[in-house]
């Protein structure tokens, strides 16, 4: 039996079992083969091929420009590396809103061309028809509410969402609609901790937070923020576990010095 068969893969069903037993779910982004391999080997439960690749990988200021083809490239690279984690790929802006046929077509392309396990999309009631149509093809869907970066031009700011009662009520209602439609989980971004906890208590499906407090069923962060590769982004909810930017610059600086001083390559490093 190969090592691949011995590993028990994370499934959407396993995530609901984790919620039932009160075991927190760990989720991180990854966008490429090498990082995804390390994150998977470290034992993460869910890898999100987020459209934050638009910022982190491509240097755009928002998530809007990334295309379906680019998300498929990132998704397929990640899937090739992963043996255990559940892999979720974001549907990018403009590929599912307002047209459920196109939503289904986009989701099918992601599933066929990346071999990922599920897709994620932003929004509640306004994208429900798309959610249902994707689910009808047997494709697992994860919702995303609260701060929705694809709608940045509607709100104009990345500030905390659903602080007012009306917005909090809509968020709870949207969460229930997504659960009833058949989503296997929901990401809640940048909302008050008390609301995150309330939604997690009301829903049977796992609720994963990013800046949604400790009362939800799991946490997700952007890998490059966690490792300290990105430096400008410092929201309150972020915990950095390393300062890789300094380490990488130090290592590259040492290499440059060794090349300039003719120390590299030495006799053992040539043929």
Catalytic residue numbers, as ranges? 189
R_g over Cα of the chain:
20
DSSP state of 24: P
DSSP state of 238: -
CB 120 within 8 A of CB 90: yes
DSSP state of 97: T
Q: Smallest distance, Å, CB 246 to ligand KIV?
A: 23
Binding site for ligand KIV (CB under 6 A): 29, 48, 50-52, 90, 144, 187, 189, 210, 220, 222
DSSP state of 123: -
Closest to ligand KIV by CB, 64 or 177:
64
Q: Smallest distance, Å, CB 53 to ligand KIV?
A: 7
Closest to ligand KIV by CB, 103 or 147:
147
Q: Give me the numbers of helices (H) and strands (E) for the chain, helices first please.
A: 12, 8
DSSP state of 246: H
Closest to ligand KIV by CB, 69 or 257:
69
E strands within 135-213?
141-146, 185-189, 207-210
Q: Smallest distance, Å, CB 58 to ligand KIV?
A: 12
Candidates 36, 45, 57, 34; CA nearest to 7 is 45
Candidates 62, 31, 67, 64; CA nearest to 47 is 31
Burial category of 138 from C-beta neighbours within 10 Å (exposed 0-12, middle 13-18, buried 19 and up): exposed
DSSP of 24-51: PEEEEE--SHHHHHHHHHTT-SEEEE-T
- Angle of CA points 202, 171, 51, to nearest 5°: 110
Q: Smallest distance, Å, CB 189 to ligand KIV?
A: 6
Q: Report how far residue 143's alpha carbon sits from residue 131's, in angstroms, rounded to the nearest whole number.
A: 9
Q: Smallest distance, Å, CB 159 to ligand KIV?
A: 15
Closest to ligand KIV by CB, 241 or 255:
241
Q: Smallest distance, Å, CB 5 to ligand KIV?
A: 31
Closest to ligand KIV by CB, 118 or 187:
187
Of all residues in this chain, which one has the CB nearest to ligand KIV in the complex? 50
Closest to ligand KIV by CB, 131 or 220:
220
């Amino acid at each position: 039996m190969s090592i691949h068969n011995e590993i028990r893969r994370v499934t959407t069903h396993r995530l609901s079992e984790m919620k039932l037993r009160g075991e927190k779910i760990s989720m991180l982004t990854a966008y490429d083969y090498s990082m995804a391999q390390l994150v998977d080997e470290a034992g993460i439960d869910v890898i999100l091929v987020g459209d934050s690749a638009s910022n982190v990988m491509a240097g755009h200021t928002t998530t809007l420009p990334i295309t379906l083809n680019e998300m498929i490239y990132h998704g397929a690279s990640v899937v090739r590396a992963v043996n255990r984690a559940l892999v979720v790929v974001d549907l990018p802006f403009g590929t599912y809103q307002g047209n459920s046929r196109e939503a289904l077509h986009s989701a099918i392309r992601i599933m066929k061309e990346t071999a990922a396990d599920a897709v994620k999309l932003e929004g509640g009631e306004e994208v429900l028809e798309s959610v249902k149509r994707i689910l009808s093809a047997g494709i697992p869907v994860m919702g995303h509410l609260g701060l929705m970066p694809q709608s940045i031009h509607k709100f104009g700011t990345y500030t905390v969402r659903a602080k007012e009662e009306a917005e909090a009520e809509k968020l709870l209602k949207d969460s229930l609609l997504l659960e009833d439609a058949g989503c296997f989980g929901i990401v809640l971004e940048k909302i008050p901790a008390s609301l995150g906890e309330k939604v997690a208590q009301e829903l049977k499906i796992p609720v994963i937070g990013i800046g949604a407090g400790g009362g939800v069923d799991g946490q997700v962060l952007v890998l490059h923020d966690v490792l300290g590769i990105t430096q400008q982004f410092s929201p309150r909810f972020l915990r950095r576990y390393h300062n890789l930017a300094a380490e990488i610059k130090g290592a590259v600086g040492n290499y440059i010095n060794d090349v300039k001083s003719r120390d590299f390559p030495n006799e053992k490093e040539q043929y």
